[in-house]
């Protein structure tokens, strides 16, 4: 297998880099670069989606008939890599990468017509209502119930850790529609408008100063039955599709590459003991390790994208990428914080008003500590590290 980039891909990269430079507003880029918050700034994110959509590039990974681009996986890789390298706002992943593919694969024409354009055009933010108190790793035990009464579902229960729910217009929820069958068979996939009467959202204060995670209480919430995706009782299958669909996204490869560059910038600029951090042998060893790990991860992602034949099922590869990608996020953000030394003790309230840079407090200081703190969660969300290792043990080694 030849994984080297061909000249056509180089030309594509140049075109994408220029495209982003042409359309990315400078103020948006500056906010993203100096962000003291971990999560997307909603107005920028939606405005950026609209800008990309005007050029037909908001959801390039979707099928062409739904507004996607006819690109190879390698071209998609380059596109994402360039977006991150340029500090463009991130996507609303819930809509573009999770729900969208579920709707165009399993949803009715009504759902496709109503929601796919909304997601593509950045008209809405989405929340993912899967986890519940007591049902995280053991998701199939979820208890939030939906009862079909006439042409509506009546939903009662509680979700937790719902990212961004306080700012979301819509959510996609796993609900129990049948208690008489085995747990996985009784789950359905519902789209719910977040301002429906009976929904209460409570934000959870986080160690990094944000309150992005939420509890969502559903109390006799009436949901039109046509907002059910696919068949009743098939929600578990659709959720598994959703979680496995973006196999390579969970590697955080583009994010990790950008943040390692940022760590290097810090190490080249910060001095300790009379020399640059970059010249300190102990730091050099850590950087060499992170660089090698990142390169190995990138090649693993490319091998998955190239559908290289291996002895292992593809779902096992997804787990490897998740484990290594999330560990690297933690390794790289700790490198940033350690390279900043005492400066990392400056606490920036998570904010989108870019703190003014100065010689003493350069741009690269803002937000590093809040981001390093929340990155501790990377080995938990999207399937915890321990659970991913269980999957690996079973799928790859038959244990
Ligand atoms: C920052 C963040 C954002 C999140 N966003 C969302 C969201 O938007 N929507 C959503 O639905 N959920 C979200 N979650 C929830 C996330 O999916 C769950 O936290 C995750 O699935 C783990 O579930 P849990 O927290 O209930 O932990 P538990 O399942 O209770 O696990 C506790 C510990 O036990 C370990 N463990 C559990 N089972 C096993 C096992 N069989 N073998 C070995 N070890 C095991 C786990 O690895 C973990 O260390 C988010 C979580 C975080 C931290």
- Is the same domain home to 227 and 285? no
CA pair distance 100, 242, nearest whole angstrom = 9
- Is the same domain home to 227 and 269? no
CA pair distance 27, 330, nearest whole angstrom = 28
Quote the ligand 1 centre to 129 CA distance (angstroms): 13
- Is the same domain home to 168 and 207? yes
Predicted TM-score (pTM) of this structure: 0.95
Quote the ligand 1 centre to 86 CA distance (angstroms): 32
Give 238's contacts (C-beta < 8 A, 6+ positions apart): 102, 106, 189, 229, 230
- The single-letter DSSP state of residue 228 is B
Residues with CB under 6 A from ligand 1: 128-131, 136-137, 161-163, 213, 377, 380-381, 384, 386-387, 390
With respect to residue 96, please indicate whether it lies within any of the assigned structural domains. Answer: no
Ligand 1 nearest atom to the CA of residue 206, by list position: 1
Q: Which of 164, 211, 380 to mutate to test the pocket of ligand 1 (most atoms within 8 A of CB)?
A: 380
The pLDDT of residue 5: 63
With respect to residue 140, please indicate whether it lies within any of the assigned structural domains. Answer: yes
CA pair distance 267, 350, nearest whole angstrom = 23
- Is the same domain home to 393 and 256? yes
With respect to residue 108, please indicate whether it lies within any of the assigned structural domains. Answer: no
CATH of the domain at 204: 2.40.110.10
Ligand 1 nearest atom to the CA of residue 133, by list position: 26
With respect to residue 106, please indicate whether it lies within any of the assigned structural domains. Answer: no
With respect to residue 340, please indicate whether it lies within any of the assigned structural domains. Answer: yes
The pLDDT of residue 68: 97
Q: Please name the residue that has the structure tokens 């999957």.
A: 391
Ligand 1 nearest atom to the CA of residue 159, by list position: 11
For the chain, how many structural domains are there in total? 3
- Is the same domain home to 57 and 161? no
What six digits make up the tokens of 98? 């999770």
Quote the ligand 1 centre to 136 CA distance (angstroms): 5
The pLDDT of residue 155: 98
Quote the ligand 1 centre to 156 CA distance (angstroms): 22
User: pLDDT per position in the chain (399 positions), as tens?
Assistant: 455 667 889 999 999 999 999 999 999 998 988 888 888 889 999 999 999 999 999 999 999 999 999 999 889 999 999 999 999 998 888 999 999 999 999 999 999 999 999 999 999 999 999 999 999 999 999 999 999 999 999 999 999 999 999 999 999 999 999 999 999 999 999 999 999 999 999 999 999 999 999 999 999 999 999 999 999 999 999 998 988 776 667 799 999 999 999 999 999 999 999 999 999 999 999 999 999 999 999 999 988 888 778 888 877 888 999 999 999 999 999 999 999 999 998 878 888 876 677 888 888 998 899 999 999 999 999 889 999 999 999 999 998
With respect to residue 107, please indicate whether it lies within any of the assigned structural domains. Answer: no
Smallest Cα–Cα separation from 41: which of 167, 195, 215, 216?
167
Residue nearest to atom 40 of ligand 1 (CA): 387
- The single-letter DSSP state of residue 96 is I
> Residue 62: which domain range?
7-91
The pLDDT of residue 4: 62
For 138, 140, 296, the CA distances from 384, given in Å and listed in that order, are 11, 15, 21
**Domain boundary residue among 199, 233, 267?**
233
Give 7's contacts (C-beta < 8 A, 6+ positions apart): none
Smallest Cα–Cα separation from 110: which of 222, 223, 193, 228?
228
CA pair distance 152, 150, nearest whole angstrom = 6
| Residue 226 three-state SS | helix
**Domain boundary residue among 181, 206, 233?**
233
**Domain boundary residue among 203, 233, 263?**
233
Ligand 1 nearest atom to the CA of residue 127, by list position: 8
The pLDDT of residue 3: 56
Smallest Cα–Cα separation from 50: which of 107, 89, 103, 108?
89
CA pair distance 226, 240, nearest whole angstrom = 22
- Is the same domain home to 229 and 177? yes
The pLDDT of residue 244: 74
Residue nearest to atom 32 of ligand 1 (CA): 137
Check if the beta carbon of residue 256 is closer than 8 Å to that of residue 325: yes
- Is the same domain home to 306 and 213? no
Smallest Cα–Cα separation from 272: which of 320, 334, 339?
339
Smallest Cα–Cα separation from 346: which of 36, 31, 32, 34?
36
């Amino acid at each position: 297998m030849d994984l080297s980039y061909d000249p056509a891909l180089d030309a594509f990269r140049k075109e994408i880099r220029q495209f982003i430079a042409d359309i990315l507003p400078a103020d948006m880029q500056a906010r993203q670069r100096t962000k003291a918050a971990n999560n997307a700034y909603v107005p920028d994110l939606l405005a950026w989606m609209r800008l990309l959509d005007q050029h037909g590039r908001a959801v390039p990974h979707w099928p062409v008939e739904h507004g996607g681009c006819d690109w190879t996986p390698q071209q998609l890789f380059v596109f994402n890599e360039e977006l991150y390298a340029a500090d463009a706002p991130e996507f609303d992943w819930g809509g573009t990468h999770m729900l969208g593919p579920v709707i165009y694969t399993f949803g009715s024409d009504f759902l496709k017509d109503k929601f796919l354009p909304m997601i593509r055009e950045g008209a809405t933010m989405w929340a993912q209502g899967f986890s519940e108190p007591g049902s995280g790793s053991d998701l199939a035990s979820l208890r939030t119930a939906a009862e079909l009464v006439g042409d509506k579902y009546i939903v009662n229960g509680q979700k937790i850790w719902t990212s961004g729910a306080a700012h979301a217009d819509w959510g996609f929820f796993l609900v129990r529609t049948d208690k008489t069958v085995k747990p996985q068979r009784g789950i359905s996939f519902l789209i719910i408008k977040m301002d429906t009467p009976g929904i209460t959202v409570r934000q959870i204060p986080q160690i990094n100063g944000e309150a992005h995670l939420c509890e969502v209480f559903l109390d006799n919430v009436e949901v039109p039955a046509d907002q059910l995706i696919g068949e009743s009782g098939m929600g578990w299958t659709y959720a598994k599709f959703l979680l496995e669909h973006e196999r390579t996204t969970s590697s955080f490869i583009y994010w990790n590459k950008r943040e390692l560059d940022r760590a290097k910038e810090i190490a080249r600029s910060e001095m300790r003991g009379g020399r640059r951090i970059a010249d300190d042998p102990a730091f050099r060893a850590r950087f060499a390790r992170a660089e090698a790990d990142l390169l190995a991860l990138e090649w693993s992602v490319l091998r998955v994208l190239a559908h290289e034949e291996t002895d292992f099922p593809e779902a096992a590869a997804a787990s490897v990428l998740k484990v290594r990608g999330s560990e690297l996020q933690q390794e790289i953000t700790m490198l940033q914080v350690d390279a900043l030394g005492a400066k990392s003790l400056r606490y920036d309230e998570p904010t989108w008003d870019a703190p003014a840079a100065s010689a003493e407090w350069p741009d690269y200081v803002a937000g590093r500590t809040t981001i390093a703190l929340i990155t501790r969660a990377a080995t938990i969300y999207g399937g915890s590290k321990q659970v991913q290792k269980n999957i690996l043990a079973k799928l790859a080694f038959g244990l």
